[in-house]
Structures are given as C-alpha cells and as structure tokens.
Amino acid sequence: GHDAGQEGGCEPGYVLTEAGFGADMGLERFFDLKCSVSGMRPEAAVLVVTVRALKAHSGKYRIVSGKELPPAMLEENLEDVRAGASNMLKHLSIVRGFGMEPVVAINVFPTDHDCEVEEIRRIATEAGAHVAAVHPVTEGGAG
C-alpha cells in the first residue's frame, strides 16, 4: 500500500494478484514468467475451491457453458465431493512443488450443503493445508 501522508514515497504493503485459473496453468505461468522476470516471490498461495468444482471434477456431470447446472449437482452428495477432491489434491501438490504451503479457501455458495463444505475441509486438512470457508457470495467483502 501507499501512505499518501508519508514524504518521499511508498511504505511497503501488500500486493495481491490472481495468478489465473488453476495451479496447473496460472500458478506455473506466474512463477515461471512473472517471478523470474521481477525477481519477486510470493509469501503466500491461496487455492480457491468450490463444492461445485469438486463435484464437476468427479466426472459424473455434463456441464455446458451458458446452461444451468444439472439439478443433481446441487443435491447433497459427499461421494461426488470425494471423487472430485483428487483434483484439489493435485493442485495442492503443484503449489508445494514451488516451495509454498497453500491455504485452501472454500468459496461457499448458498446452495452448498454444510456437510460437503466440511468434507472438503477434512480432506484438505488431512493433506496438510490450512483451510478457511469464505462466504463472499452471501456476505460480500466481509465474507
């Protein structure tokens, strides 16, 4: 951040950047290009996951861009969350491959079931990640 009241320039603060979609694409490009050119290195990495994404990665649903999600995808289904969690675990391993310990942020939607959110928390915690459920959809910036 910049303290406008301070003479002579900026006081160090925080810079947040979204590296892009997925650790397999965005994060790798971020490290390989941005970090290597700038000489900067992040101090934290946050992997954002959703119940919907994990269910989608179960391979059981046909998702079509511009169409509503299949109704069954909004039903409580821990088996689908577990099946799709392998994708989250792979992304965690990619982040760790760059020497970072990721934080998992579960972006909670109103249609998510508490037990599904808790299952993601359990799986990520067992994988050694710190986990936080966030609610920006329903609570805005405070969430």
Cβ atoms of residues 104 and 23 within 8 Å: no
Domain annotation for the chain: domains and CATH numbers: 43-142 (3.30.420)
* Residues 8, 2 contacting (CB under 8 angstroms): no
Burial of residue 102 (CB within 10 Å: 0-12, 13-18, 19+) is buried
pLDDT on residue 7: 53
Residue whose C-alpha is closest to residue 108's, from 125, 128, 133: 133
- Residue 127 has, within 13 A of its CA and on its CB side, a CA count of 24
Distance CA 134, CA 108 (A): 6
Task: Record the tokens describing residue 42, joined without a space.
Answer: 């992040």
CB-CB neighbours of 143 under 10 Å: 12
pLDDT at site 58: 95
Residue type, 114: D
The confidence band for 3, taking pLDDT boundaries of 50, 70 and 90, is: very low
**pLDDT for the residue 12:** 65
From edge to edge, which strands make up the β-sheet containing 46-49?
A: 46-49, 103-107, 130-134
Kindly report the pTM of this predicted structure: 0.83
Question: In 10 A of CB 67, how many CB atoms?
Answer: 8
Does the pLDDT of residue 121 top 50, yes or no? Answer: yes
* Confidence class for position 128, pLDDT limits 50, 70, 90: very high
Segment 114-124 shows an average pLDDT of 98
